[in-house]
């Protein structure tokens, strides 16, 4: 599932330009939205376990903060680039707007290969990175969260480093933390649960029983793995899953508990033996009812979109489908729920966690999940109705809604000075 050479920032700008023309976006506001508000590149010197010093490169990009403080994940990956951070920050702006939470978009990352680093090296890398971007972030400015290869422990180190600088605990500086230090119940499964709510909403609109469908999930990390478990608990049949090493397929259905156990033992889902081994390209081309790309961006492209055999695609990953592929899928009549709607559950419950941390008043998991369901359902209904009214795809409708919301906020606030 390696990303190809397609430039994510170029694709993000093309998507904005396309929607701007459709909604008659004010040219001045269009220009503002074409440029991230802030871009920070930092050098991160780290003392390695062997005593050597290695210097890593890190980024933090804030696309827009008109509707509220910036919000967005931090990823650790060898292929992190500034253009990727800019594109994902813009996507986060639209995602927060489409579901109606008061944030703008941000994204951060470090060019590194976490499996090659010890836990101590990752901690020192994280803390030094935070010290370099510390003037950029804060509960009122920019609230990071987990992303690819980052987790609650890394969020805890971020919170602790920021809090040591302030001299008191600041739980609202980051979301996705362990619950022992102010994390929210339900946050770990929030993105996956939001995807599941989208699937159930699609079923109502398209008139099918979600419990009788065959599901294929590309990616078995926090989102894909949790989604497999959640769908299985509802009685849904998962026929294939995949990760970076490849995929596994069993038309009779997979048991996520056993797949996860095999993954813990072997490091990959392909360690599960009661299934057929397949490649990730074969996984994307499987005949199924619902396909969920939950890995990295640019997985469904112009080269393989015509091979996809599904009725519904729900984008659990950020940017898994290129613009060219989106057009092919739309022409083929495949119903696609775009990433800025489908995977917004993590952003929504991050917002809940931020609110709880600021108030020092915490909610039950049931309350979190019910609030998440209500927001996801309302956003889905709004986008679906807009799609039907204007006879456009769900992706176009979601972008129209999001860009109009951000544009209205810019217009109302005006330019200073």
Active-site annotation, residues: 107
How many Å apart are CA 58 and CA 40, to the nearest integer? 8
How many Å apart are CA 99 and CA 91, to the nearest integer? 13
Task: Compute the C-alpha angle 292/295/297, nearest 5°.
Answer: 100
What φ, ψ does residue 52 adopt, rounded to 5°?
Answer: -75, 160
How far, CA to CA in Å, does 168 sit from each of 132, 160, 164?
19, 9, 7
Give the tokens for residue 137: 């972030």
Residue among 70, 224, 77 at smallest CA distance from 145 = 70
Residue 4 gets the label, from left (phi > 0), alpha (psi -120 to 50) or beta, of beta
How many Å apart are CA 344 and CA 383, to the nearest integer? 13
Cβ atoms of 98 and 401 closer than 8 Å: yes
Cβ atoms of 12 and 20 closer than 8 Å: no
Give the tokens for residue 260: 């996860």
């Amino acid at each position: 599932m390696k990303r190809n050479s397609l430039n994510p920032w170029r694709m993000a700008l093309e998507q904005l330009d396309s929607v701007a023309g459709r909604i008659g976006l004010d040219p001045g506001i269009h220009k503002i939205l074409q440029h991230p508000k802030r871009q920070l590149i930092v050098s991160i010197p780290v003392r390695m376990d062997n005593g050597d010093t290695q210097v890593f490169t890190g980024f933090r990009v804030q696309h827009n903060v008109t509707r509220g403080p910036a919000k967005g994940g931090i990823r650790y990956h060898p292929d992190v680039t500034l253009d990727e951070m800019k594109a994902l920050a813009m996507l986060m702006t639209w995602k927060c707007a489409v579901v109606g939470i008061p944030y703008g978009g941000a994204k951060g990352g470090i060019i590194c290969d976490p499996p090659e680093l010890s836990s101590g090296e990752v901690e020192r890398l994280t803390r030094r990175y935070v010290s370099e971007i510390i003037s950029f972030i804060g509960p009122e400015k920019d609230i990071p969260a987990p992303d690819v290869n980052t987790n609650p422990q890394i969020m805890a180190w971020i919170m602790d480093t920021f809090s040591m600088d302030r001299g008191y605990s600041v739980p609202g500086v980051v979301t996705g933390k362990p619950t022992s230090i102010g994390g929210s119940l339900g946050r770990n499964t929030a993105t996956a649960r939001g995807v599941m709510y989208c699937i159930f909403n699609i079923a109502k609109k398209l008139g099918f029983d979600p419990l009788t469908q065959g599901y294929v999930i590309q990616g078995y990390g926090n989102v894909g793995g949790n989604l497999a478990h959640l769908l299985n608990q509802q009685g849904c049949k998962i026929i294939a899953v995949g990760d970076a090493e490849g995929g596994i397929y069993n038309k009779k259905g997979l048991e996520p508990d056993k797949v996860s156990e095999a993954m813990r033992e072997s490091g990959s889902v392909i360690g599960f033996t009661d299934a057929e081994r397949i490649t990730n390209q074969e996984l994307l081309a499987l005949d199924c009812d619902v396909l969920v790309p939950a890995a990295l961006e640019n997985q469904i492209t112009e080269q393989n979109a015509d091979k996809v055999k599904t009725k519904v695609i729900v984008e659990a990953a950020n940017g898994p489908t290129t613009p060219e592929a989106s057009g092919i899928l739309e022409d083929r009549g495949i119903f696609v729920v775009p990433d800025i709607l489908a995977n917004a559950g993590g952003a929504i419950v991050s917002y809940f966690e931020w609110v709880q941390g600021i108030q020092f008043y915490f909610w039950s998991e049931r309350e979190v999940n019910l609030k998440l369901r209500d927001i996801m359902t309302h956003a889905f209904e709004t986008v679906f109705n807009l799609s039907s009214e204007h006879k456009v795809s769900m992706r176009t409708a979601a972008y129209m809604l999001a860009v109009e919301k951000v544009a209205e906020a810019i217009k109302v606030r005006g330019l200073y000075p």
